[in-house]
Amino acid sequence: MIATQITTSRGLPALALALLFATAGLIGCGGDPPQDEPDNQNQLNQEPDNQNQDPGNQIQDPDHNQSFDPSVIPAYLIVDVSPTRFAYALDTRVTPRARAYNYQWQPLGEVPVEWTVTPEDLVERDGESNRWYLRDHGDVTFEACAVDALPSHPACASHTVHVADGPTVTLETPIGGDHFSGQNSDTVLVEGVVTSARDINRVQINGIDVPIDSDRRFSYEYTPNFGVNTIIVRAFDGLHPLDGLDAASFIWAPDFLPTEHDGTSLHTQLDTALIMRLGQNFFDDGSNPTMISDSQILTEDLADIIYLVLLFLDLGAQLPDPVVDSSGFYLSVPEVQIGEPRVEIDTTSTGLQIFAQLQDIHAVTSGHLDFADQLLNLDGSIEAGLAVFAEVDVEKTSANEPVTVELVNFAIAIENATGNFASDEANAIFELADSLLRESLETILLDSVNLSFIDTLPDLLTDVFTSLEEAIAYQPFDVDVGVGDPLLLEFYGQISQLLPTYLQGIEGIVEAQLAIETARSFPDNPGVAVMTSGPRPLPLFDESRIQIGLDLALINAIFNNLWDAGLLDLDISTMVPPSLGPLLQTGHATGMLPPVAAPPVGNQPYDLLLHLGQLELDLGWATQTDRFGARLAVGANLLIQDDAIAIEISDDPDIELWLIDSTEESPFLDAGGLISLIRNQLWPQIDDALGEGLSFSLPIPDLAGLDEFSPELADLDLDIRMTRPLEVREGFLILEAAFEGELFLD
């Protein structure tokens, strides 16, 4: 019997405790749970027991005229049923349990009890065990009575369960693994039906309440995001909390880039795999190199590089010795020193214009000149300055044509020259513009600079532009998930065009082809999800030095091709914990959708989000087979490592899991255990394959051969650094960077 009120010795209401006992099914022989002190306000629905207790703390059994120790006699039982639910679906297997307590409400541990189940026709016993299958709708009562209770004070308790099928959701569209194109619609129709023996309180689609008609059908226009979307439909009947559930993952994209299979290999062609701009500031930012000290120089643009080429130009090595040796005229120039150069570079509609000045040329001279029967002493020096102007056309008209760098206009002139010879007469003669002495020296200087500069400039610029293509011409991706054979995906890239723009820079477009030798796992694969449909502007800024745009379609094409080659077709039977290994007979994971990289949503602190959708897990246990669906989303950041963009994937994916079907009422491994398996066993292998195996070489100018033009530049260390965070613009992941050169002089 249960008292209508229970009060503690401190006067605090204990109604909640009474309700707990009532719910669990408490029936005892000796009154309510013990209290520290008697409470005369309690009105118990039973006869008091204290007249049966003797002063020796024994209980008198009048039926047997014996005394018993109250600490070992079962007086109260509490009955519950596992698993605990508000209601139970048909064919659920349950186990009733009884906990026994003595007259002081102290637990007794295991005591023998006798079970009675009514009505019997609603249940089926599981062999000889105390487990029961619920086979029909209705209320089933499990009653337990302690075998060793006093006959005059029986200890019995019962628990009643409600058996009724919960709502069943059938999602008719979309189906897991579907692809939807924005060419057809910006929304996706979600339709299905709910079946239930009870009235349905409400239906939710991704947490939004939607109406159902008289036939319990629902229909909803869902607005998807780019990439993998997951629809989760829940139905509530007010009794079963979340038993009605169905889910499906699909891909929506504005368009799809088709892939081709020639019978042996899979190919994907991307016309704009990468875009790039070498901005005006890349060529010339208007500043000279930074002289940190006499032995350390920093460069930040191409003009700085040419500045150093001219600064270390060894004109003396270009001059013959002697430079003149003819009748009456002998001249040697043993040393030439060059002061600080000045270099300006502007981009034009066809290429580049370069203006350079060599100021403060100091040439040491020795020799003589026979003039008007006088032998003039030419020992001394010449101070001079000269200017260079060059126009260079840069062109690449197709992927199959080479980069051409052509010097189309070149002019060099002495701007000023002053002789400082030992002979004043020689100085006077040198001032005459048409004198043999001046013409000879100017011709020698111009020829030397002309030879050096013309040889240096086109080769230097050719190296700059051809290195862009060489960096991305071929790149293999070795991907190994650790299960099955490794996959080799090959990337072939070529610059399809270079487009100079006046005072803005030079833009380039890289087309690429991906190839992987494989049979197709998904012959109906519509192709690679792309963020935009049709032509799109190049989202490049004018003020940046180096901009490289990596088309998200390239990343997703790599994922798509690897997926179609079986990347996510995995044997996971060895991934379960050792304690479960003997029980798992088969384990298999299948990715019904390719991984898709998409821009982050909201304030997520990542460059990209990587989605894996409709990852289906089939687990064959010794006693049953379970099939789960899963959606994984994980953040990814991109960073520059060794002139390449590397993908750094978070090790903490967000996992959503749902049961697709099971041969039993409940899965063998619950959602928590399976999510732990995915997070700790399966995901690290996928992470290693996608993260460590994928990095993209960047079309970065290579100036490693500068020592061919000036030996002092052999130790120029060039480094690429990011100048602003990566961001997605018009479907391109835009990297903005600058290159810094650091030169240490002996």
pLDDT digits (tens, 9 = 90+) for 614-628: 999 999 998 899 999
* Residue-level pLDDT at 98: 94
pLDDT of the residue at 169:
92
Q: Where in the sequence of the chain do the CATH 2.60.40.1080 domains occur?
A: 15-163
**Beta carbons of 655 and 678 less than 8 angstroms apart:** yes
Q: Which residues in the chain are classed under CATH 3.15.10?
A: 279-456
Q: 3-class SS at 65?
A: coil
Is the pLDDT higher at 276 or at 462? 276
Average pLDDT over residues 564-575: 88
Q: What proportion of the chain, given as a percentage, has pLDDT over 90? A: 41
d(C-alpha 503, C-alpha 685), whole Å = 49
Q: Are 351 and 321 in contact (CB under 8 A)?
A: no
More confident residue, 433 or 30: 433
Distance, C-alpha 10 to centroid of its chain:
59
Higher pLDDT, 686 or 107: 107
Residue-wise burial string across 713-735, b where 16 or more C-beta atoms lie within 10 A, e elsewhere:
beebebebeeeeebebebbbbbb
More confident residue, 12 or 74: 74
Q: Which two tokens stand for residue 377?
A: 């002493």
β strands within 254-399, DSSP E: 255-257, 260-261, 265-279, 290-293, 296-299, 324-326, 329-337, 341-347, 351-371, 374-377, 380-395
Q: For strands 156-163 and 59-61, give the pairing.
A: unpaired
Residue 340: strand, helix, or coil? coil
Higher per-residue pLDDT: 187 or 544: 187
Question: What is the spatial distance between Cα 159 and Cα 139, in angstroms, rounded to a whole number?
Answer: 10
Query: Looking at residue 391, what is its pLDDT?
Result: 94
pLDDT for 12 equals 28
Residue 129 carries which side chain, given as an amino acid letter? Answer: S
Give the chain's mean pLDDT. Answer: 83
- Tokens in use for 165? 């099928």
pLDDT digits (tens, 9 = 90+) for 22-60: 334 444 444 444 443 333 322 222 333 443 444 445 666
Q: Are 271 and 194 in contact (CB under 8 A)?
A: no
What is the C-alpha to C-alpha distance for residues 693 and 686, in angstroms, rounded to an integer? 10
Asked if residues 567 and 591 have their Cβ atoms less than 8 Å apart, the reply is yes
Banded pLDDT at 14 (limits 50, 70, 90): very low
Instruction: Pick 533 or 602 by higher pLDDT.
Output: 533
Residue 284 clears pLDDT 50, i.e. is over it:
yes
DSSP codes, 31-45: -SSP-SS--TT---S
CATH topology of domain 279-456: Bactericidal permeability-increasing protein; domain 1 (3.15.10)
Residue-level pLDDT at 611: 93
- Report the share of the chain in percent with pLDDT over 70: 87
pLDDT score recorded for residue 377? 94
| Mean pLDDT of all residues in 475-491 | 80
Residue 78 has pLDDT above 70, yes or no: yes
**Inter-axis angle of helices 302-311 and 436-471, nearest 10:** 140
Pull the structure tokens for residue 217: 């059908």
**Has residue 446 got a pLDDT over 50?**
yes
Q: Please give the model's pTM, rounded to 2 decimal places.
A: 0.73
Mean pLDDT of all residues in 506-523 = 93
Q: What is the pLDDT of residues 103-141, one digit of tens each?
A: 888 999 889 999 999 999 999 999 888 999 998 888 999
Highest mean pLDDT among 139-148, 315-324, 674-683: 139-148
Q: How many CA atoms lie within 13 A of 620 on its CB side?
A: 6
Give how far Cα 94 sits from Cα of 91, 123, 158, 400, 486, Å. Answer: 9, 10, 14, 72, 46
Query: What is the rounded average pLDDT of the residues 472-480?
Result: 83
Rounded to an integer, what distance in angstroms lies between the CA atom of residue 122 and that of residue 142? 12
Say what the pLDDT of residue 456 is.
72
Mean pLDDT for 650-670 is 87
8-state DSSP, 483: S
The pLDDT tens digits of the residues spanning 238-259 come to 776 656 789 999 999 999 999 9
320 versus 250: the higher-pLDDT residue is: 250
The upper half-sphere exposure of residue 428, i.e. CA atoms within 13 Å in the direction of its Cβ, equals 5
How far is 586 from 368, CA to CA, in rounded Å? 99
Q: Which residues, other chains included, contact 534 with Cβ-Cβ below 8 Å and sequence gap of 6+? A: 255
Q: Which residues contact 560 (CB under 8 A, 6 or more apart)?
A: 259, 268, 525, 527, 528, 529, 594
Instruction: Average the pLDDT over 379-401 and give the result.
Output: 91
Residues 6+ apart with CB under 8 A from 566: 484, 487, 518, 521
> Which pLDDT belongs to residue 718?
79
- Tokens at residue 660, please? 């697709």
Contact by Cβ (8 Å): 459, 417: no
Calpha distance 497→400 (Å, rounded)? 10
With 60 as the cut, is the pLDDT of residue 383 above it? yes
- The answer to which of 173-177, 303-307, 459-463 has the lowest mean pLDDT is 459-463
Q: What is the rounded average pLDDT of the residues 554-565?
A: 92
pLDDT of residue 20: 34
**Does residue 268 surpass a pLDDT of 50?**
yes
Mean pLDDT confidence for 504-525? 93
pLDDT of residue 64: 55
Q: Please enumerate in sequence order all residues whose Cβ is within 8 A of that of 357, keeping only pairs 6 or more positions apart, or say none.
A: 341, 342, 385, 386, 387, 388, 415
- What kind of fold does domain 15-163 have according to CATH? Immunoglobulin-like (2.60.40)
Structure-token pair, residue 297: 């120089």
Query: What's the rounded Cα separation, in Å, for the pair 40 and 7?
Result: 10
Mean pLDDT of all residues in 317-345:
87
672, containing H or E segment? helix 671-677
E strand intervals along 182-226:
188-195, 202-205, 208-210, 217-222
Res. 191 pLDDT band, cuts 50 70 90: very high
Contact yes or no for 366/398 (Cβ under 8 A):
no
> Residue 154 carries which DSSP code?
-
pLDDT at site 27: 44
- 37 vs 64, which has greater pLDDT? 64
pLDDT at 62: 56
Query: What's the confidence (pLDDT) of residue 29?
Result: 47
Does domain 168-253 sit in CATH 3.30.470.20?
Answer: no
Confidence tier at 709 by pLDDT (50, 70, 90): low
> How many helices (DSSP H) and strands (DSSP E) are in the chain?
9, 46
Query: What is the 8-class DSSP label of residue 58?
Result: -
Every domain range in the chain assigned CATH 2.60.40.10? 168-253
Rounded mean pLDDT, 267-287: 93
Query: Mean of the pLDDT values across residues 383-399?
Result: 90
What angle, rounded to 10 degrees, do the helices at 436-471 and 424-431 form?
60
Q: Answer yes or no: are the C-beta atoms of 390 and 430 closer than 8 Å.
A: no
| Average pLDDT rounded to a whole number, residues 281-289 | 93
The predicted pLDDT at position 95 comes to 93
Which of 33-42, 423-432, 550-559, 653-662 shows the lowest mean pLDDT across its residues? Answer: 33-42
Q: Which of 78, 60, 69 is nearest to 20 (CA)?
A: 78
